[in-house]
Structures are given as C-alpha cells and as structure tokens.
C-alpha cells in the first residue's frame, strides 16, 4: 500500500504511477478484443528477444524457437531496426510531499521515502549504484541500517533501492517501524541523506561498496534463471553481451567525487515524496 501510494504521489499522470497488476475495475473491464488488439499492436518481430539458458542442445533450442516464431520472418522487413521504446521523464515534484495511508488494523507502519532517479542509460548509473549501495544496501543496510536499525533500534527493516529504467525510476528508502517511531524514523532518514549530500561517502564506504558490488556479481549468475535475467537486461538496455566482464572495471573506476555528485544530483530532502502506510495519524510535524 505504501509503495502504490508512493508511485502515485511521485509520478502523478506518468505511466510509472500505474499499478503493474492493474486494478479490479480495470481488469474486469478487459474484453477479448482488447487483448487481441494489444497483441497485434505490441507483439512485433522487431521488439522480441528470446533468451535460452541451460543444458540444452543448441539446434533443438533454435528449432523450438523457430517453430513458435518462424512465421514472423515473413512480416519482418529486410534491414528493419529494433523497436525503440521511448518513455518520457516525469515532472519532478517542486516541494516535499507527505502522504498517509491509514491502515489502523495493522501493527506496523511502513515508510517509503524517495525521488525520481535516473535512466538506466545515464552514463552516471554506475556511480549512482555505488551511492545507493553505501546509503542503504551494504552489509545490514548501509549507513541507513547502521543508524536507524542498529544504533537506534527503530526499524524492523530499512534499506534503499535504485530502479533505473527506460525513464528515471525511483530512488527509494523503505523502512518498517513501530507507529510510535514514524516521525523519528523519517527525521533520521532526512538526517542521513542530508549528511550524504553535504559530505559524500567516506573512503571506507566507497571501498566497501565497490568491492561488495564486484564480489556479488558472480552470485547473480549462479542459476540459469539468473543468467537469463542478466542477459535479457543487458540486451534490453543495450549494455552489450560482455557487460558482466566490464562491470568490475566500471565499478573500480568510480571515484568518491562521482558518488558525491550522484548524491547531490539525486537527493533533496526538501523535495522528497514521503508515504506512510499503517496505524498512523498522518502528522509528520
């Protein structure tokens, strides 16, 4: 509920405000001809990528794919370029927004706090990923976890995430707290982000985050599903099939100044969108 309200508050009329699974009313209104029309419009030879991973015979895999999609070759124009999907930027909020979603029968309040981030194609993506890791990913949740969860004992969980996509996806901080600690938790998130913008990461945070991201890459490629997802992402965003080989050097090259600039560019607590869902009265003053 907090995440849905956050997307709506941050993105407004932008497509990223929509619930991925839709709404009951919207789904009930769908007719068969709507699905047929959507398929005819969106399922196009120039837009498809097929990834096959596993202990399978290459010829058998190609034959299976050809059986399913072979007739598409007759409608593909020679030299046709791959379809380009263009998603507009959202209008960034000009001021801080506070939204409460009352759920008074719950025991816990959940906080989503964040901003529109960057496109995956942004050349500063790697610096952003290091910044996000230091902020709320590394070890027990980066500096957010160390402060809010470990030292203050306020949160059942706290972490940050960076969802860079075709358009700038959200840079989010999420926390689950006691209703009595909502105001303190939000104030602590404000303080940590303000400190990161003012001072940047420490040298130790930079080194730890870079090494963590480099060292964790092989884990994403341990399973067939992980390899397929990685290859699909690389193809979808045009990263190149050698992206896994290049990632370590890209991360090693990130400097402290670049991470600090990423924080200054991405974070402004005075323009944050803050949503609380749970047994909360809606006052953050």
The answer to whether residue 212 scores a pLDDT higher than 80 is yes
Q: How many CB atoms lie within 10 A of CB 2?
A: 24
> How much is the pLDDT for 74?
64
Q: What is the pLDDT of residues 32-78, one digit of tens each?
A: 999 999 998 888 887 788 999 999 999 999 999 989 888 776 665 55
CATH class of 2-14+87-278: alpha beta
Tell me the percentage of the chain whose pLDDT exceeds 90.
82
| For residues 180-199, average pLDDT | 96
Q: For the chain, give the mean pLDDT.
A: 93
Alpha-carbon distance of 179 to 96, in angstroms, equals: 21
What distance, in Å, lies between the first and last C-alpha atoms of the chain?
22
More confident residue, 139 or 73: 139
Contact 112, 171 (CB under 8 A): no
Q: What is the pLDDT of residues 221-274, one digit of tens each?
A: 999 999 999 999 999 999 999 999 999 999 999 999 999 999 999 999 999 999
pLDDT band (50, 70, 90) for residue 150: very high
What pLDDT sits at residue 72?
79
- Residue 77: what pLDDT? 59
Q: How far apart (Å, rounded) are the C-alpha atoms in residues 265 and 89? A: 16
Q: Read off the pLDDT of residues 71-105 as tens digits, 9 standing for 90 and up.
A: 776 665 556 666 677 898 888 899 999 999 999 99
* pLDDT > 90? residue 15: yes
Give residues with Cβ within 8 angstroms of 79, minimum separation 6.
none
Q: Are 139 and 210 in contact (CB under 8 A)?
A: no
Three-state secondary structure call for residue 74: helix
The one-character DSSP state at 96 is -
């Amino acid at each position: 509920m907090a995440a849905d309200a956050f997307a709506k508050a941050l993105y407004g009329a932008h497509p990223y405000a929509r619930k991925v699974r839709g709404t009951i009313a919207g789904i009930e209104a769908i007719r068969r001809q709507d699905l047929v029309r959507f398929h005819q419009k969106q399922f196009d030879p120039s837009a498809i990528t097929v990834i096959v991973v596993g202990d399978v015979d290459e010829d058998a895999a190609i034959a299976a794919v050809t059986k399913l999609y072979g007739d598409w070759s007759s409608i593909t124009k020679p030299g046709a370029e791959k379809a380009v999907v263009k998603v507009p930027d959202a209008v960034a909020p000009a001021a801080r927004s506070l939204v409460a979603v009352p759920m008074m029968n719950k025991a816990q309040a959940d906080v989503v706090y964040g901003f529109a981030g960057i496109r995956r194609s942004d050349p500063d993506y790697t610096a952003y990923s290091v910044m996000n890791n230091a902020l709320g990913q590394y070890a027990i949740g980066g500096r957010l976890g160390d402060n809010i969860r470990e030292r203050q004992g306020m949160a059942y969980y706290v972490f940050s995430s960076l969802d860079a996509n075709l358009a700038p996806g959200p840079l989010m901080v999420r926390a689950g707290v006691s209703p009595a600690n909502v105001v303190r938790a939000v104030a602590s998130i404000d303080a940590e982000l303000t400190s990161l913008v003012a001072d940047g990461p420490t040298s130790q945070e930079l080194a730890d985050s870079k090494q963590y991201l480099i060292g964790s890459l092989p884990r994403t490629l341990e399973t067939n599903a992980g390899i397929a997802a990685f290859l699909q992402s690389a193809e979808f965003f045009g990263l190149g099939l050698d992206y896994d080989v290049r990632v370590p050097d890209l991360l090693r090259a990130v400097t402290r100044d670049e991470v600090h600039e990423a924080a200054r560019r991405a974070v402004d607590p005075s323009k944050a969108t803050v949503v609380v869902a749970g047994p909360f009265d809606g006052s953050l003053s």
